[in-house]
A and B are shown apart, each in its own frame.
Chain A
Amino acid sequence: MEDLKMDIEERICTEIWPKPSSQNNLAKQVNQTQPSFSNFGLQKDQSPWEDSSLRDHGVRIGPPFSEYNQASDQIRSSLQSNNSKNSNQDGGVQQTNESLQIGKAQDWDPRAMLNNLSFLEQKIHQLQDLVHLIVGRRGQVLGQSDDVVVQQQQLITADLTSIIVQLISTAGSLLPSVKHKIAGPNPPPIGHLGQLGGILYNSGVGSNAANAKQSSGGSQKVPDQPNPVDPAGDTDRSYPIEEHDLKEEDDADEGENLPPGSYEILQLEKEEILAPHTHFCTICGKGFKRDANLRMHMRGHGDEYKTPEALAKPNKGNNSETMLLKRYSCPFAGCKRNKDHKKFQPLKTILCVKNHYKRTHCDKSYTCSRCNTKKFSVIADLKTHEKHCGKDKWLCSCGTTFSRKDKLFGHITLFQGHTPAIPLDENKGAAGPSEQGETAHGEKSKVAQNISFSFDSGSNNGGGIQDMIDMKSTIDDPSGCFSPLNFDSFSFSGFNDFTRAAFDDSDGGLSFYIPGSCNYDQKNGGQSSCSNLE
């Protein structure tokens, strides 16, 4: 992702994705808010995998993809290409998009600095005017209420703070250490840097209101605007999604406590994540399945990649020394792995990003062929599951299976009302010994005076089957949670599969009739009755 350090100065990230109810609407909105883009054909069909679009993948935050239909995706991709074309233009176009800025790893640009300084100058002038105004008013109206005075004071203080912050950050862009401190995932004080037209780093994720407001009020900052500098408040409002994204993500792995800014955050696009490649050219972004192929590809980017050292397997030690630590952000807005999340937890590698994105934000399209219930979005997960499918013998009443008993008991301890579910073939086995000489034998025992004990079981057998069939018909439930299970318990197949049906408390009696009836045929020639059924 070296492209971040590349020569793109202006990155225009105009990701305003107000609920895309329709294409036209969206297009209109974009047109309104981003007049500069009107030149570009919105419907221009262009592959997102073009080099230009790849360049900014580190900084763009994708909208929640799942709610978007294919059409909107197309728009988006074309927009991306627009953006990137725009960004390729020379000259620091004063961006109207006022959004959070993160002083990203970026080489110092004197032109941008100049811009900043002139802006600051302008700002100071404005402030000066304001103070003049206040002084003048105070002279006129002495009996002004305290409230107004306080308000004015706050206004000035806020403006001053803003200026100071901007000054510091402008200077700070020269110093790597300062820069990284500011470059945290949530850097509120530099919220207005966007006006400087420097490196735009859009993180106003899918927030309609915030974006609209920012874009409208960006260019002409009026001094008497209420709370003109309240970056924290602004950012807060611009993250409406986070507010209700309280659920912790499952795959919050090892609490890697890297201080924010000590690493570089990269963010891949959804399309890139879902692409079948894992190795990407840091220059052109082309993806490869194998690292060796990528290295071969790199030769085309210059002679420095043609040396034997460059073509050899990269040494770990070298990389970590020279390069900044890299961490990845999920493009899904509101996700805990998204860099705009309050409790952002970065992902370590691209593979992590891919797996995370597929597991968390994608449909589970791979279904286990054995159990037909478990679904996965990562094919490796499916393969892992298929290895153990059917071996997860610890079953909860909720239908969840566990490979280990202690995991099941931990689950039951945690959830109210969940019960260990006893697999039915155990039930079957249990009924066997305890049922020696069931009622029919008992009846015979009364006739036993003549001491002739022939335990004829032909009649029982028939009864057993009858019972079973009855049972089956009663269980024929649309919910169908018992039917596969019945089949399992009736067919004495060698496949030692446990039923995956929920063990229902209320139906507990019902579920245990089955083994009872099973027991008959097990005792009295179970095989024959079995074959009858099948």
Chain B
Amino acid sequence: MKKQKTAHRGQELGQELKLNPFDFLSEEIVFTILDLLGDNPLDKKSFSLVCKSFYSIESSHRRALRPLRPDHLPKILARYPNTARLDLTLCPRVTDASLAVVSSSCGPCLRSIDLSRSRFFSATGLSQLAARCGNLVEVDLSNARELRDPGAAALSGLRNLERLWLGRCKLITDMGVGCIAVGCRKLKLLSLKWCLGVGDLGVGLVAVKCREIRNLDLSYLPISNKCLPSIMKLPYLEDLILEGCFGIDDNSLAAVKQGCKSLKALDISSCQNISHVGLSSIASSTEGLQQLTLAYGSPVTAPLAASLKKLIMLQSIKLDGCSVTCSGLKAIGSCFVSLRELSLSKCSGVTDEGFSFLVTRQKQLKKLDITCCRQITDVSIAHVTSSCTGLTSLRMESCCLVSKEAFVLIGQRCHSLEELDLTDNEVDDEGLKSIGRCSRLTVLKLGICLNITDEGLTHIGRSCSKLVELDLYRSAGISGSGIQPIACGCPNLELINTSYCYAINDAALRSLSKCMRLNTLECRGCPLITSLGLAAIAIGCKQLAKLDIKKCHLIDDAGMIPLAHFSQNLRQINLSYTSVTDLGLSSLASISCLQSMTILHLKGLTPWGLAAALLACGGLTKVKLHATFKMPLPQSLFEHLETRGCVFHWRDKAFQVQILKEAELDPKSWRLKLEDIVP
């Protein structure tokens, strides 16, 4: 925007002198300026509107494009001839015709294309792309669920391809992957996650033909021990993900005689057939391993830990969801030299004894995840804080036995913390005051912390100026006066969640509107918020992309109109239970990149108003609607919208009023209710 102003001044000057002063600027200088332009895509738009030369400079400078509509592709690509990266994630409908346009206008310039959110293209379009854009290095075809082997075969024409994502391409079989393996010899990254049609033969061929592979994601593939030896022979393999490969067991790992020396990260989560026997054989063959993920696998016992002894380079170990024994934890503590990262999230059997022993040995720990380790107490926290003072990330959601005094220790000892998750804990204002000393905090999660009030939050706002993400979900003690210091003290704030903090009012939103970078605002169930507060946010937070104002009854069309006008980056909105009507909804159509709408239980919404709004919002990909709208509107309308790329989710829930008043407004009773359900 500043640029725009200076540009205006310059234009005036130029008119006086009959000369454009910008002509004196060298292209390099303008390019540098362009490089420094911020995240908001509108900035570059303003820049290019300054004058013809700026327009052409911007056109030739831009390399990456993320178009909103495939319809505009011919014009956009003509304007930006140097496009190297094309991100089509905002275009749900990309047909073969669109791909033909892309391939003919980008040609060999194109290096990267992302089709992971697009549908409606087929092998024909891909083969055109392969024929004309031979320099493509990166192709993301994840979620192309209708793509079959011919599509994969078309990709095999891309000889220079290095990175390829095929996640969830369930119809691709060994044949298609075989074509890719033969054609794309330079592949360095290949993700076949959820490609359920691909088995040993396809993966084996990839391992034989693509010797350059560094990263290989084979999660949930029906592979067995047949292809594993050839995978392990890949000379440069660094990252191997075998999550959920049930066909891989101890025998197949034992069969891997020749280990992969280059392997740095291995993920064998959810491989239930791998025990410590298989682990010890893989550990002896992959000595350079730095990261190991064993989540949801066999129990972590002393023999398992001992089997990993040979992994001297190991820095990170993730044991999420495993059952853990005390001796197992102790063995892990004594086995490894210096772990940097440890995750025991949702592990059962983590006790003070084993865990304390572990953390006292592993003083280098930087990241620690003890989410839902419900047996640990203040003792463990005391040990963690005293020995691992260099912690940058601590996640301890729902550690219910940890008392509020322990959180004071965290603030006192761990000053390097950048990420702290205290969701559903007993932390109080005193703890928050102490945590305020962690001046590097960027992510702070205080959801369902019922003991905190505005006073504690004020301490955070004063000292944690780097805060980017703040979660106050159902922390009912917070009101507008707590948000105000946060909004003032944390200018980098991008995400804030104040859902069900019923005391949040327009004043809080007005103060938050100062946070220029805010992109996500969730204030579901804050009945005091009105359209005025929302208008302030719309005007102040231009980056806003995600807005949840469900159950903010007071918000009506008056809030929608400023939103439609100012929040041009809005992607996702939840308007359920608000007082928005046809008018407000239709006005949202002016937000060109709006993709997802949840509009349940809008009293003022008529079927025809809905139809108009849906047709007007051209970029919609996902709409949640109440089932009652299905009948009055013609089926062909929905069919038409579906061919545009929109998916409808029909809900048939009853209108909730009573629950809202009794339970949701009183978090304590809500929590009690929850505890009744989950003993």
Complexed CA–CA distance, A512 and B149 (Å): 11
Q: Which of the 9-residue segments A14-22, A112-120, A426-434 touches chain B?
A: A426-434
Total chain B interface residues with beta-carbon distance under 8 A: 47
Q: Does A436 contact B (CB under 8 A)?
A: yes
Q: Does A505 contact B (CB under 8 A)?
A: yes
Q: Does B522 contact A (CB under 8 A)?
A: no
Complexed CA–CA distance, A431 and B153 (Å): 13
A409-B174, A512-B150 are known contacts. Are A430 and B123 too (CB-CB below 8 A)? yes
Is the pair A508, B611 in contact by a Cβ cutoff of 8 Å?
no
B489 to chain A, nearest CB (A): 49
A508-B127, A509-B131 are known contacts. Are A430 and B636 too (CB-CB below 8 A)? no
Is the pair B122, A434 in contact by a Cβ cutoff of 8 Å?
yes
Is the pair A436, B120 in contact by a Cβ cutoff of 8 Å?
yes
A409-B204, A433-B146, A448-B615 are known contacts. Are A512 and B95 too (CB-CB below 8 A)? no
Q: Does B147 contact A (CB under 8 A)?
A: yes
Q: Does A48 contact B (CB under 8 A)?
A: no
Q: Which residue of B lies closest to A513 (CB)?
A: B124
Which 3 A-B pairs have CB atoms at the shortest separation, nearest pair first? Answer: A430-B148, A453-B636, A437-B643
Q: Which of the 9-residue segments B74-82, B178-186, B459-467 touches chain A?
A: B178-186
Q: Which residues of A contact B237 (CB under 8 A)?
A: none
A402 to chain B, nearest CB (A): 12
Complexed CA–CA distance, A409 and B178 (Å): 8
Interface string of B36-69 (1 = CB under 8 A from A): 0000000000000000000000000000000000
Besides A422-B153, A430-B148, A505-B183, 8 new A-B residue pairs in contact (Cβ under 8 A), listed by A number: A420-B176, A426-B148, A434-B147, A438-B97, A449-B615, A451-B636, A453-B640, A516-B122
A412-B178, A448-B640 are known contacts. Are A516 and B149 too (CB-CB below 8 A)? no
Interface string of A448-484 (1 = CB under 8 A from B): 1101110000000000000000000000000000000
Q: Which of the 9-residue segments A314-322, A383-391, A439-447 touches chain B?
A: A439-447
**A427, A434, A437, A509: residue with the most chain B Cβ atoms closer than 10 Å:** A434
Complexed CA–CA distance, A20 and B150 (Å): 54
A505-B183, A509-B127 are known contacts. Are A430 and B151 too (CB-CB below 8 A)? yes
Is the pair B148, A441 in contact by a Cβ cutoff of 8 Å?
no
Q: Does A374 contact B (CB under 8 A)?
A: no
Q: Which residue of A lies closest to B171 (CB)?
A: A430
Total chain A interface residues with beta-carbon distance under 8 A: 39
Q: Does A503 contact B (CB under 8 A)?
A: yes
Q: Does A418 contact B (CB under 8 A)?
A: yes
Q: Does A406 contact B (CB under 8 A)?
A: yes
Complexed CA–CA distance, A449 and B121 (Å): 25
Complexed CA–CA distance, A319 and B154 (Å): 63
Is the pair A509, B128 in contact by a Cβ cutoff of 8 Å?
yes
Q: Does A154 contact B (CB under 8 A)?
A: no
Q: Which residues of B contact A418 (CB under 8 A)?
A: 182
Q: Which residues of A contact B637 (CB under 8 A)?
A: 451, 453
Partner of B205, one of A413, A433, A441, A519: A413
B89 to chain A, nearest CB (A): 18
Is the pair B124, A515 in contact by a Cβ cutoff of 8 Å?
yes
Q: Which residues of B contact A519 (CB under 8 A)?
A: 122
Q: Does B639 contact A (CB under 8 A)?
A: yes
Complexed CA–CA distance, A427 and B123 (Å): 8
Complexed CA–CA distance, A429 and B93 (Å): 20
Q: Which residue of B lies closest to A395 (CB)?
A: B175
Binding site of B, secondary structure by majority: helix, strand, loop or mixed? helix
Q: Does B425 contact A (CB under 8 A)?
A: no
Is the pair A451, B611 in contact by a Cβ cutoff of 8 Å?
yes
A456 to chain B, nearest CB (A): 13
Q: Does B601 contact A (CB under 8 A)?
A: no
B411 to chain A, nearest CB (A): 55
Is the pair A422, B146 in contact by a Cβ cutoff of 8 Å?
no
Is the pair A422, B122 in contact by a Cβ cutoff of 8 Å?
no
Partner of A442, one of B93, B178, B183: B93
Q: Which residues of B contact A417 (CB under 8 A)?
A: 182
Q: Which residues of A contact B640 (CB under 8 A)?
A: 445, 448, 453
Is the pair B643, A442 in contact by a Cβ cutoff of 8 Å?
yes
B170 to chain A, nearest CB (A): 12
Partner of B127, one of A433, A503, A512: A512
- Give me 29 A-to-B residue pairs in the complex whose CB atoms sit less than 8 angstroms apart, sorted by A's number: A412-B182, A412-B205, A419-B153, A419-B179, A422-B148, A427-B123, A427-B149, A430-B122, A430-B123, A430-B171, A431-B124, A434-B121, A434-B146, A435-B96, A435-B120, A435-B122, A437-B120, A438-B95, A439-B95, A445-B640, A445-B644, A451-B634, A451-B636, A503-B153, A509-B127, A509-B128, A509-B154, A515-B124, A516-B96
Q: Does A28 contact B (CB under 8 A)?
A: no
Taking CB atoms and an 8 Å cut-off, the chain A residues in 398-412 that contact chain B are: 405-406, 409, 412
Q: Does B358 contact A (CB under 8 A)?
A: no
Interface string of B195-226 (1 = CB under 8 A from A): 00000011011001100000000000000000
Q: Which residues of A contact B205 (CB under 8 A)?
A: 409, 412-413
Q: Does B156 contact A (CB under 8 A)?
A: yes
Q: How many A-B residue pairs have CB under 8 A?
A: 134
A420-B178, A427-B150, A509-B131 are known contacts. Are A439 and B123 too (CB-CB below 8 A)? no
Q: Which residues of A contact B128 (CB under 8 A)?
A: 509
Complexed CA–CA distance, A508 and B128 (Å): 10
Q: Which residues of A contact B95 (CB under 8 A)?
A: 438-439, 442
- Name B's A-contacting residues (CB within 8 A): 93, 95-97, 119-124, 127-128, 130-131, 146-151, 153-154, 156-157, 171, 174-176, 178-179, 182-183, 201-202, 204-205, 208-209, 611, 615, 634, 636-637, 639-640, 643-644
Complexed CA–CA distance, A222 and B267 (Å): 81
Q: Which residue of A lies closest to B230 (CB)?
A: A413
Is the pair A430, B178 in contact by a Cβ cutoff of 8 Å?
no
Interface string of A497-518 (1 = CB under 8 A from B): 0000001010011001101100
Q: Which residues of A contact B644 (CB under 8 A)?
A: 445
Q: Which residue of A lies closest to B159 (CB)?
A: A505
Interface string of A341-368 (1 = CB under 8 A from B): 0000000000000000000000000000
Complexed CA–CA distance, A437 and B93 (Å): 11
B609 to chain A, nearest CB (A): 14
A436 to chain B, nearest CB (A): 7
Is the pair B175, A422 in contact by a Cβ cutoff of 8 Å?
yes
Complexed CA–CA distance, A509 and B639 (Å): 31
Complexed CA–CA distance, A425 and B148 (Å): 12
Partner of B119, one of A427, A434, A453, A512: A434
Complexed CA–CA distance, A438 and B94 (Å): 10
Complexed CA–CA distance, A406 and B128 (Å): 30
Is the pair B130, A508 in contact by a Cβ cutoff of 8 Å?
yes
Complexed CA–CA distance, A436 and B119 (Å): 10
A419-B179, A453-B636 are known contacts. Are A405 and B148 too (CB-CB below 8 A)? no
Is the pair A430, B150 in contact by a Cβ cutoff of 8 Å?
yes
Q: Which residue of A lies closest to B93 (CB)?
A: A442
Is the pair A430, B179 in contact by a Cβ cutoff of 8 Å?
no
Complexed CA–CA distance, A430 and B148 (Å): 6
A396 to chain B, nearest CB (A): 10
A369 to chain B, nearest CB (A): 28
Is the pair B201, A405 in contact by a Cβ cutoff of 8 Å?
yes
A437-B120, A437-B643 are known contacts. Are A422 and B149 too (CB-CB below 8 A)? yes
Q: Which residues of B contact A426 (CB under 8 A)?
A: 148-150
Q: Which residues of A contact B124 (CB under 8 A)?
A: 431, 512-513, 515-516
Complexed CA–CA distance, A253 and B151 (Å): 41
A409-B178, A420-B178 are known contacts. Are A512 and B123 too (CB-CB below 8 A)? yes
A216 to chain B, nearest CB (A): 57
Q: Which residues of A contact B176 (CB under 8 A)?
A: 420, 422
Q: Which residues of B contact A422 (CB under 8 A)?
A: 148-150, 153, 175-176, 179
Complexed CA–CA distance, A461 and B182 (Å): 37
Q: Which residue of B lies closest to A453 (CB)?
A: B636
Q: Which residues of A contact B208 (CB under 8 A)?
A: 413
Complexed CA–CA distance, A433 and B634 (Å): 23
Interface string of A177-195 (1 = CB under 8 A from B): 0000000000000000000
Complexed CA–CA distance, A409 and B120 (Å): 31
Q: Which residue of A lies closest to B638 (CB)?
A: A453
